[in-house]
Amino acid sequence: MLGSLLLAGSRLPLVRQTVSGIPLTRKVVDRFVAGEAVQDAVGAVRRLTGAGLTVTIDHLGEETRDAGAAAATAHAYTVLLGALRELDLGDRAEVSVKLSAVGQALGTDGDKIALENARRICEAARAAGAGVTLDMEDHTTVDSTLGVLRALREDFPGTGVAIQAALHRSEADCRDLSGAGSRVRLVKGAYAEPASVAHRRKADVDKAYVRCLRILMSGRGYPMVATHDDRMIAITETLADRFRRSRGDYEYQMLYGIRTDKQQALAGAGHTVRVYVPYGDDWYGYFMRRLAERPANVAFFLRALGGK
């Protein structure tokens, strides 16, 4: 219930203004967001890769309604990737791209604009030796995102995509995306979706996640298991053994600032652990989804407001 209220509130301008205006909100945001400038993102990458982790970097922003802003977001990614190339960090990094931030939401030409901007990002990533994964947004964007993915993979076959287990359609999507060379990040889903298209109860989402995970682990692609849940990690290891996957045949992904001890423990055991590093000044939507996902995050926020 609390998570649903937070997700609903994340789209209300008055709630955004109120939350953003609380001075101590920034203290909490700093836990989940690397900073606002590209230098902040690069600094986080250097720290994390120096500790034996890999990264995927998200330039925050979504639902862009202006072609110039969409192009500016794409440019921000190319600048970031250029900085990673100069520091020779590309082989430890990739970028995560929300297509709505690079033009997807721009009416009838949205998919075309998003594809053009995504191509620019993929070209910069290739030059840096880095990868690209398309983030998945709410259910209305899935077909569009998968269409752009197919087009990108013609020239950039390593392009990955996120699939949200909570959606009823996701098992079929995982089957379609489980072929050789296909990189899929499996997440539970962080959007408020109607019951007609998604599981709503946590227990049902967890079961759906396991079903999708089994499909990916039994396939020929490269699963990217995005979870902080010890049960899901244990199930992943069981499935890896069952389907004879080595530790180089899949990876774990976790959010910046969450379960850092677990990140280090998994990396220390020889797993690839990729940390999702967001940066930029448009942090509000991302921040609210992090609060909605885990009660512990809300408690952290309230403690900060209380000065504890």
- Active-site annotation holder among 183, 185, 274, 289: 185
Give the pair of three-digit tokens for residue 167.
């959606």
Confirm whether 135 is a catalytic residue: yes
Among residues 58, 92, 111, 135, which one is catalytic? Answer: 135
Which of 35, 27, 116 shows the shortest CA–CA distance to 80?
Answer: 35
Q: Is 185 a catalytic residue?
A: yes
The DSSP element (H or E) to which 16 belongs, if any, is: helix 13-21
How far is Cα 213 from Cα 239, in angstroms, rounded to an integer? Answer: 8
Closest CA to 45 of 37, 36, 34: 34
Contact 113, 102 (CB under 8 A): yes
- DSSP assignment letter at 92: G
> Other CB atoms closer than 10 Å to residue 185's CB: what's the count?
25
Q: How far apart are CA 216 and CA 223, in angstroms?
A: 6
Name the one residue in this structure whose structure tokens are 């995102």.
145
**Tokens describing residue 121:** 């990002």
Distances (CA, A) of 94 to 85, 234, 275, 291: 11, 26, 10, 25
Q: How far apart are CA 206 and CA 186, in angstroms?
A: 12
Instruction: List active site positions.
Output: 135, 185
